[in-house]
Amino acid sequence: MFKRLTRGLLKTSKKLAGRIKDIVAGRKVDADLLDEIEEVLITSDVGVEATGNILDRLREAYEEKEIEDGEQIIPHLKMILKEMLESDGAGIRWAETAPTVVLVAGVNGAGKTTSIAKLAYHYHGEGKKVILAAADTFRAAAVEQLTIWSERIGVGIVKHQTGADPAAVAFDAVEAAVAREADILLVDTAGRLHTQDNLMRELEKVYRVLGKKIPGAPHEVIMVLDATTGQNAIQQVKVFGKDIPITGLFLAKLDGSAKGGAVIAIRDQVDVPVKFIGVGEGPEDVEPFVADDFVEALFA
């Protein structure tokens, strides 16, 4: 798993950790060195606010003489990043009585349906009985796409025709999950834009239906974000959070660019834990987010 994570973060690692290692090699810590590190962090999509917080701590350590040689920067920086990325909410919150219901949301193009397939593959591989709910009935190919994934992975699916009421799909899916004694139900929703009020109302409706069928459901509301979109991803979480309570983030497409530093920016600005990251295109390319592993892979 660590090798897969390291491979998935390779582009970001070269752009961020690799450049910092080059900068600090053989140098004493001074104001100029810290300024150079600041520039690397900002240009690596860590974000202005998060970079400012990191540099404040590095400068404090420098003034307290905790870091004097450049080589001491790396372990200190890793410690700071691990603390910034750590949260108490990592991992799925399992219901006391099965099934655990997970509602998955996100905008068009974020990689939502593929991310759902990865979660299904992950939990199916752990021996869990998984059912998918194809409640993205607005996009013509969405139901077909999720059906193909369900067949490929070997998990059940509940679906209606394209254009059907997504809340009706969610209703039937919960009944099926209970009847089939499923461990987890993953509910796909339309890849709506957060500027479309009618689609946001549909999302709220699906959320309410799940809660009426199973008290306490959905037990998780996971929002899939394209990690390469940076500040836009942060705004999406804030806007979606006004309509439904987001409990966790799935950061997709970390392997596709050198913008993995956005994970730090997003976690710094949004009080929602990162629970999963996508590090490749295959269904197996998903990792439960562990701050220590992420940072170590970044600097591997």
Q: Spell out the domains of the chain, with CATH numbers in brackets.
A: 2-85 (1.20.120.140), 100-298 (3.40.50.300)
Q: State the pTM of this model.
A: 0.89
Of 16-20, 30-34, 84-88, 153-157, the range with the lowest mean pLDDT is 84-88
State yes or no: pLDDT of 275 exceeds 60: yes
Write out the E strands in the chain. Answer: 100-105, 130-135, 156-158, 184-189, 220-226, 248-252, 274-278, 286-288
Of how many residues is the chain composed? 300
- Quick: pLDDT tens for 139-148: 878 899 999 9
d(CA 51, CA 41): 6
pLDDT range class, residue 47, cuts 50, 70, 90: confident
State yes or no: pLDDT of 246 exceeds 60: yes
d(CA 213, CA 193): 27
